[in-house]
Structure 1
Amino acid sequence: MSDEADKGGTRLFGPATGVGSMPGGDAREAAKTVTGSFEDFPFLAELPARGPGADMIGRTIGMLVDLYAHVEPSGWRISDRPGRDTKRARSWLGEDLDALEEFTQGYEGPLKVQAVGPWTLAAALELRGGEAALGDAGACRDLVGSLAEGLRAHLAELAKRVPGARIVLQLDEPSLTAVLRGDVRTASGYRTYRAVDRQVVESALRDVIGVHDGPVVVHSCAPDVPFALLRRAGVAGVSFDFGLLTERDEEPIGEAVEAGTKLFAGVVASTDGPLSDPGGSVMGVRTLWRRLGLNPGTLAESVVVTPTCGLAGASPAYARAALAHCARAARSLADNPE
C-alpha cells in the first residue's frame, strides 16, 4: 500500500521519524527520547553499543525461525542450535520492546520497526565454511523463508504490545546495490560474489514485504538506491541519504512520487556537527521538487524527514538534537512548500 492514507482516511506515516539506531545502551532512555521527539511517528530504537546481538544483523538473526547463528571474529555464522549470542539478541529485543510499550501507552498512530532485509542479511551471514549465504542460492531461499516467518511473529508481538499502533515495517538494505552489482567481497577478499539477478532480488523482497499487511519501507544509506526495483517489489516508501542523490536518480524518484511512493529523505547528518536552520535542511528537497516539475502542494505529504542514517555513532546530546531538528524541518516543509 503506497497511498498517504488508507480507505478510512487514516494517516499511514508521520511527517518525520528516525532511521533506527541510537547511541548508548539504555533502552528506557532511548524509548523516552524517540517517543518524545516523534509524537506522531515513533520507532523502535536499536542500541548496537551494547554489543553483538544488539547490532542490526544480530537483532534480525534473533528473529529468524529455525535458523541460528553465533558470533565469529569475522561476523555472524550459521549454527546448529540457538546459542548464547542468539539468546542475547532475543533478550535485548525483548528489553527494547518492554521500553517502547512503557512509553507508548494509549498511543494510536504510525509506529516504525526495523529489521535487516533479505539481501543485506545474505551478504552478512556466513555459512559454516565461512562464505556468505549470498553465494548459495539455496541458502538464500532458506533465509528468505526464515526471515518472513520471523518477521510475521515479531510484528504480531508488537501489535499486541501497542494495540493502537499502525505498524510500518522498515527493511534495512544497505548492501542491496552491491548485491545487484556483484560488488560483495568473498571471505578471502580477492574476489566478489556473482551479481544476483534483479528478478530474483525483486521476488525475494516481495516475499518478505508480503508478510505485513501494512506499509513497508526499504532503507539504504548507500549510493544508487534502486528506486524502480523497490517500487516494483511493492514498497510503500524508500528511505535514503538525500545527500547521495545524483542526476540519474531524479527520473526514478519522480516516477516513484507520481506512483504514490513515500520518500523518507535523510537530510539531517547522523554524526555530531552543526545543525542548520530547519528550513535550510529541506531546501534541497524543495529544489528537487521544482526541478522535477512536481506539485509543491504534494511535498509535505510525499516526504518524511529523517536523519541520513542511524544515530549510533552520535553523542546522546546530538542524537536528541538531530531528532528534534527532523521534526522542525518537517514542519517547515509543510508550512513553506515553495
Structure 2
Amino acid sequence: MTTTYPWRPGAATGIGSYPGDDPAEALRVVLGELPDLPHLPELPARGPGADLTGRTAGLLVEMPVHLQPSGWRFADRPGRDVLRARDHLARDLDVLEGLAGGHDGPFKIQVCGPWTLASTIELRNGDRALKDPGAVRDLAASLAEGAAAHVADVRRRLPAARILLQLDEPGLPAALAGTVPTASGFSRLRAIEEPVAGEVLRGVIERACADDAAYPVVHCCARQVPYGLLRGAGARAVSVDLALVPRRDDDAIGETIEAGIGLFLGAVPASDAALPPLQATAEPARSLWRRLGFPPARLGAQVVVTPACGMAGASPRHVRAALARCRETGRTLYEGAG
C-alpha cells in the first residue's frame, strides 16, 4: 500500500528526555542534529514537575494533583510542583517559538499516555488511579482536553510546522498483564482488558488529534508491545526499543507495517556507551525488514531512527554523538534501500 508520512525518507528523531536544565541549549542540539524531525526536549533534571508524570499533570483540565512523598496524587487544588511544571512548559514553549518559530517541517511533542498516567498518579486514598475504572476514564478525558490545548498552543507558535503528538506509554504492557503493584506493593492490580485499554487510548488520540491537528505516535519502550491495540486505537506510528523486539513479535510487526503504520525504531544506545559502527547500527533494522519480506524501498520511508529510549541519564557528549548516529543511520537505511 502507498502511505504518505509527514517526515522525509531517512528521517531520525529523539524520544523526549535530555540531560541538563537549559531548554534553549537542549533545543539547539536537537535542531542541529535532527533537522528533518526535531522535537521538544524534556529536562527532568529540573526536578519535580519536569518528570514524565508531573509534566503531563500540568496539562490536566479540572483534575488538580499535588506531589506527595509516595508520588503524584489527586487533590483539591494544584500543588506548587504542578504550578512549577506549568512554568517549565511555558518557558520551553517560549524558547521553542524563539528558536524554531519559522520551522516548516514536521515537529514532535510528547505527553504521557493515559494508561501510564493512571499507573503513576494516586487516588486520594493512596491507591493508583489504575485501580478505579471511573477515575481512569475521568483522567483520560482530562488528558485529552489538555493535550488538545497543548497541540493548539504549539501550532500557534509553529504555524508552518506539521505537529506529531507522541503519547508515552511505557506502563501499558504492565497494565495489560496485571503486573502493576498496589499501593502496598504486596499484590498486583487487576489486568486491564485490551478492548478497554484500546478504547481509552483511542479517545485521547481522537480528541487531541482532532481535525488532523496532530499526527499521533505512541511510544512504548517495554517488552510485549501491543501493536494491534495501538493500531486499533488510532496510532499512525509506533515507537519501540529495537533491542527489545523479539522474533515472536514478527507477525504483529508485519501487520503493522502492512497497514502503513510508521515505525520509530530505537537503534542507538540511549545511555553512555561506545557506539557501534554505522553499518552495525543499521543492521538490526535491515534484518527485521528482510525477515518480514517487505520491499527495501519502504524501509527508509516508513522507519524513523531514534535512540533506544529517553536520554536524561546520558552525558551531553553522548547525546550529541547518539543523535548524530541516529541521523546517519536513517540516511543509510534510505540510501541503501534505493
Q: Normalising by structure 2, report the TM-score.
A: 0.96
Please give the secondary structure, in 2, of the residue aligned with 1:314: coil
**Match for 1:99: what amino acid?**
V
Query: Take 1:245 and 1:44, find their aligned partners in 2: how far apart are those partners?
Result: 26
**Residue 239 of structure 2 corresponds to residue 243 of structure 1:** no
- Provide the residue aligned with 2:261 in structure 1: 261
| Aligned with 1:190 (options 183, 186, 192) | 186
| Aligned with 2:196 (options 193, 200, 204) | 200
Query: Take 1:287 and 1:154, find their aligned partners in 2: how far apart are those partners?
Result: 38
Map residues 206-285 of structure 1 onto 2, 5 A cutoff. Answer: 206-211=202-207, 212=209, 213=212, 214-285=214-285
Query: Take 1:315 and 1:17, find their aligned partners in 2: how far apart are those partners?
Result: 18
- Provide the residue aligned with 2:291 in structure 1: 291
Deviation at 1:277, TM superposition (A): 2.1
Question: For the structure 1 residues 13 and 148, does the alpha-carbon distance in structure 2 shift closer, same or farther, using more than 3 Å as the test?
Answer: farther
Query: Take 2:3 and 2:82, find their aligned partners in 1: how far apart are those partners?
Result: 37
Please give the secondary structure, in 2, of the residue aligned with 1:183: coil
- Provide the residue aligned with 1:42 in structure 2: 38
Deviation at 1:197, TM superposition (A): 1.3
Deviation at 1:279, TM superposition (A): 2.3
**Residue 93 of structure 2 corresponds to residue 92 of structure 1:** no
Deviation at 1:73, TM superposition (A): 1.2
Deviation at 1:11, TM superposition (A): 4.4
State the aligned residue count: 333
Map residues 140-155 of structure 1 onto 2, 5 A cutoff. Answer: 140-155=136-151
Percent of aligned pairs sharing the same letter: 51
Query: Take 1:82 and 1:302, find their aligned partners in 2: how far apart are those partners?
Result: 41
**Match for 2:326: what amino acid?**
C
Please give the secondary structure, in 2, of the residue aligned with 1:54: coil
Query: Take 1:38 and 1:127, find their aligned partners in 2: how far apart are those partners?
Result: 39
**Match for 2:65: what amino acid?**
A
Map residues 102-117 of structure 1 onto 2, 5 A cutoff. Answer: 102-117=98-113
Query: Take 2:12 and 2:334, find their aligned partners in 1: how far apart are those partners?
Result: 11
* 1:142-190 Cα distance to aligned partner (Å, 9 max, x none): 0011000001110110001111110000000000000001010001111
Deviation at 1:105, TM superposition (A): 3.0
Q: Check the 8 A contact 2:220/2:239 in 1, yes or no.
A: yes
Please give the secondary structure, in 2, of the residue aligned with 1:139: helix
Moved more, 111-120 or 33-42: 33-42
- Provide the residue aligned with 2:312 in structure 1: 312
Query: Take 1:287 and 1:14, find their aligned partners in 2: how far apart are those partners?
Result: 17
Q: Check the 8 A contact 1:133/1:139 in 2, yes or no.
A: yes
Q: Check the 8 A contact 1:205/1:233 in 2, yes or no.
A: yes
Query: Take 1:105 and 1:137, find their aligned partners in 2: how far apart are those partners?
Result: 40
**Match for 2:63: what amino acid?**
L
Q: Check the 8 A contact 2:10/2:330 in 1, yes or no.
A: no
Deviation at 1:13, TM superposition (A): 8.1
Please give the secondary structure, in 1, of the residue aligned with 2:110: strand
Query: Take 1:209 and 1:76, find their aligned partners in 2: how far apart are those partners?
Result: 23
- Provide the residue aligned with 1:58 in structure 2: 54
What runs of 5+ residues in structure 1 fail to find an aligned partner?
Answer: none
Query: Take 1:288 and 1:18, find their aligned partners in 2: how far apart are those partners?
Result: 21
Query: Take 1:13 and 1:103, find their aligned partners in 2: how far apart are those partners?
Result: 25
Deviation at 1:3, TM superposition (A): 3.2
Deviation at 1:91, TM superposition (A): 0.2
- Provide the residue aligned with 1:168 in structure 2: 164
* 1:89-142 Cα distance to aligned partner (Å, 9 max, x none): 000011111111122131101100000000000000001111100000110010
Q: Normalising by structure 1, report the TM-score.
A: 0.96
Query: Take 2:249 and 2:83, find their aligned partners in 1: how far apart are those partners?
Result: 41
Q: Check the 8 A contact 2:10/2:333 in 1, yes or no.
A: no
Q: Check the 8 A contact 2:8/2:301 in 1, yes or no.
A: no
Q: Check the 8 A contact 1:14/1:110 in 2, yes or no.
A: no
Please give the secondary structure, in 1, of the residue aligned with 2:58: helix
**Match for 2:283: what amino acid?**
M
Deviation at 1:74, TM superposition (A): 1.1
**Match for 1:330: what amino acid?**
G
